[in-house]
Structure 1
Amino acid sequence: MTPDLTLPYDGILPDFASRPVWCGRGSTVIGAARLGSQAWIGDDGVIRADGQPVVLGERFWLGHRSTVHIATFTRGTQVGDRVTVGHNSVVHACTIGSDVVIEDDVVILDGATVGDGTVIEAGATVFPRVQLEGGFVYAGSPAKPQRTITRAELDERAERLREAAGDALQPVAGDRPEVVETVFVASTARLRGRVSLGAGSSVLFSCDLHAEVGPIVVGADTNIQDNTVIRTRGEGVVIGRDTTVGHNVRVGDSRIGARSLIGIGATIAPGTVIADDVMLAAGATTDPGQLLEGGYLWGGRPARILSPLDADKRAMMGRIVEGYREHGRAYRKAEAESA
């Protein structure tokens, strides 16, 4: 089976060494991605090589609602053979060795290197540019070595993750909102209930926006990246303009201000209020009802102030917003041409 959606980027289509053994519902592969033989992509898995290459070795296995991406202008992603990635994890602009197990809810960030024969335990965050020596189990945020691991245990953990994927995600038919021409909603995204999208906004691949009770309101030029889930069970979610919500973020009823960045794999608890001009670090969480003051980088579990938001960080956040405006235009065209 081929992925539900295969798209070119800058005229380059993905390259499959052989057709994957299995590709799940809502799976997406884009751009300069090369998948080795016997690859497996779970439901809503996203592999996006839009600006730099993604090279995945033989028997690569990507769990349900997990994401592989690159740093658009600077760094691709390289993964060795026999690598297993669990559910709701992100492998981002990094280098992964062979015989590696990445469990559920893991985030691996830009420039990190993971050695051969390694296990990254569920919920861990591998910080940018960190080098993890092979042969160990790592856990925590930031990920730290816990103990050595045998090949027999590594194989057992990989098999356990693969067996768990037998309980596949079920697709849910959703309401596609009326959107203006400048908005991009990926064909594999699911939007249900009262969802309002501002001009120039984008909802990327395999996102799930479900306004069960209150509405979801997304501001102009804001981007919601792959596999993010936003769900309302109370007053709703409002996100300001020019904001980035990274890959695999979880958002409950909350308010997120303008010109902010919610990092990869973060969790926003119900009742959270995030002011304008906030950067929330990858893998961070908020407590219910927490207020994040504007003008700062926040991080941790629960989030706390780490440093003032300096000019370089503000400029970087602006570049991401502009980059995703360009991505939205490119993907609208690519999906229209592939229809």
Structure 2
Amino acid sequence: MTPELILPYDGVLPEFISRPVWCGRGSTAIGAVRLGSQAWIGDDGVIRADGQPVTLGDRFWLGHRSTVHIATFTHGTTVGDRVTVGRNSVVHACTVGSDVVIEDDVVILDGASIGDGAVIEAGATVFPRAQLAGGFVYAGSPAKPQRPIDRAEIDERAERLREAAGDPAPVAAGDPPEVEDTVYVASTARVRGRVSLGAGSSVLFSCDLHAEVGPILVGADTNIQDNTVIRTRGEGVVIGRDTTIGHNVRIGDSRIGARSLIGIGASVAPGTVIADDVMLAAGSTTDPGQLLEGGYLWGGRPARILAPLDAEKRAMMVRIVEGYCEHGREYRKAEAGRG
């Protein structure tokens, strides 16, 4: 079988060395992806090569709601053979060796390199450009070596992770939202309840926006990236314009200002107020009711001020917004062409 959604990018379609063993509902492959033999892609697994290549070795296992992506201007992603990725993890613009186990809720960031025979434990964050030698267990944020590990234990942990995957609880698809022509909502995304999407905004692959109680209001030209989950159980969520919400972010009832960036795998707790012009680092969390002042890079668990936002970071945030406006137009056209 093949992924539920396959799209070209810049005229290039994914290449499968052989038909994957399994592809779950909402699974997606885009662009210059090369997927080895005997692959397994879980529900809402997203592999997206839109600007750089993604090369995945034989017997690659991608757990439910996990994402593999690239950095458009700088890094592709290369993964060796017999690599197992758990649930809700992100493998982003990095190099991963063979016989590696990446457990649940892990974030691996741009330019990082992981050697053969490593285990990245649940909840860890591998910081940009980190060089992790093979043969060790890593944990924490940033991920640090804990102890050596042998091949027998690596195989056992990979098998345990695959067995624990099981079948996720079914999620109601809901009716497609009514949006204007400039808005892109991926066909594998789920948007339910009172959700308003501003002009030029985009909701990427396998995102789940569920306005259970209060509304979800998304500003113009804001992008919400793959496998992000936004749920309201109180007053609702408001996201300002020209903002980026990264891959696999979790957002409860909160306010997020304009021109901000919420990094990969971050978690925004209910009651959080994020001002305009904030960058929240990948893998960070906020405390309920926390206020993040504008003009700063915040990071940590819970988030604290790390540095002022300099001109380089502000320019990068603008480039991401512009790039995703273009992606939205291209994906909308590509999905329309499938019909």
- The interval holding the TM-score normalised by the smaller chain is over 0.9
Identify which range, 165-174 or 2-11, moves more after superposition: 165-174
* Structure 1 outlier segments of 4+, above 2 Å: none
Question: Could you tell me which residue of structure 2 aligns to residue 243 of structure 1?
Answer: 243
8 Å Cα contact 1:175/1:193 also seen in 2? no
Alpha-carbon distance in structure 1 between the residues aligned to 2:172 and 2:28: 17
Deviation, structure 1 residue 175: 2.4
Q: What's 1:84 paired with?
A: 84
Superposition CA RMSD, Å: 0.6
Give 5+ residue unaligned stretches, structure 1: none
**Paired position in structure 2 for 1:151:** 151
Q: Which amino acid aligns with 1:6?
A: I
Q: Give CA deviations for 1:37-90 in whole Å, capped at 9, x if unaligned.
A: 000100000000000000000000000000000001211000000000000000
Q: Does 1:308 align with 2:308?
A: yes
Asked if residue 129 in structure 1 is aligned to residue 148 in structure 2, the reply is: no
**After superposition, where does 1:254-265 map in structure 2 within 5 Å?**
254-265=254-265
Match of 1:318 in 2: 318
Residue 209 (str. 1) matches residue 209 (str. 2): yes
Aligned to 2:191, the other structure's residue is in SS state strand
Letter in 2 for 1:302: P
CA distance, structure 2, for counterparts of residue 18 and residue 130 of structure 1:
32
- SS of the residue 2:146 aligns to: strand
1:37 maps to what in 2? Answer: 37
How far, CA to CA, are the matches of 1:169 and 1:138 in structure 2?
Answer: 30
Aligned to 1:196: 196
CA distance in 2, matches of 1:261, 1:173: 27
CA shift, 1:165, in A, is 1.5
C-alpha separation in 1, matches of 2:302 and 2:202: 28
Deviation at 1:310, TM superposition (A): 0.5
Tell me how far apart the structure 2 counterparts of residues 133 and 277 of structure 1 sit (CA, whole Å): 36
Q: Taking structure 2 as the reference length, what is the TM-score of the superposition?
A: 0.99
Give the distance between the partners of 1:298 and 1:45, measured in 2 at CA: 28
Indicate conservation of the 8 Å contact 1:64/1:169, yes or no: no
Q: 1:188 corresponds to which letter in structure 2?
A: T
Counterparts of 2:169 and 2:337, CA distance in 1: 28
Aligned position for 2:226: 226
AA aligned opposite 2:62? L
For 2:140 and 2:23, the matched residues in 1 are separated by 31
Task: Tell me how far apart the structure 1 counterparts of residues 75 and 270 of structure 2 sit (CA, whole Å).
Answer: 34
Query: Which secondary structure does the structure 1 equivalent of 2:68 belong to?
Result: strand
Residue equivalent to 1:297: 297
Deviations 1:274-318 (A, max 9, x none): 000000000000000000000000000000000000110000000
Question: Alpha-carbon deviation of 1:168?
Answer: 2.8
Which residues in structure 2 correspond to 1:275-294 (within 5 Å)? 275-294=275-294
Q: Match of 1:164? A: 164
Point out the more displaced range, 161-170 or 64-73.
161-170
The offset of 1:158, in angstroms, is 0.4
Separation of aligned partners in 1, 2:171 and 2:37:
27
TM-score under structure 1 length normalisation: 0.99
**Structure 1 residue 169, shift from structure 2 partner:** 4.1
**Aligned mates of 2:69, 2:138 — CA distance in 1:** 22
Unaligned 5+ runs, structure 2: none
Q: Which amino acid aligns with 2:148?
A: T
Partner of residue 23, structure 1: 23
Contact 1:198 1:221 in 2 (8 A): yes
- 220-229 vs 160-169, which deviates more? 160-169
Q: Aligned partners of 1:265, 1:64: CA distance in 2, in Å?
A: 15
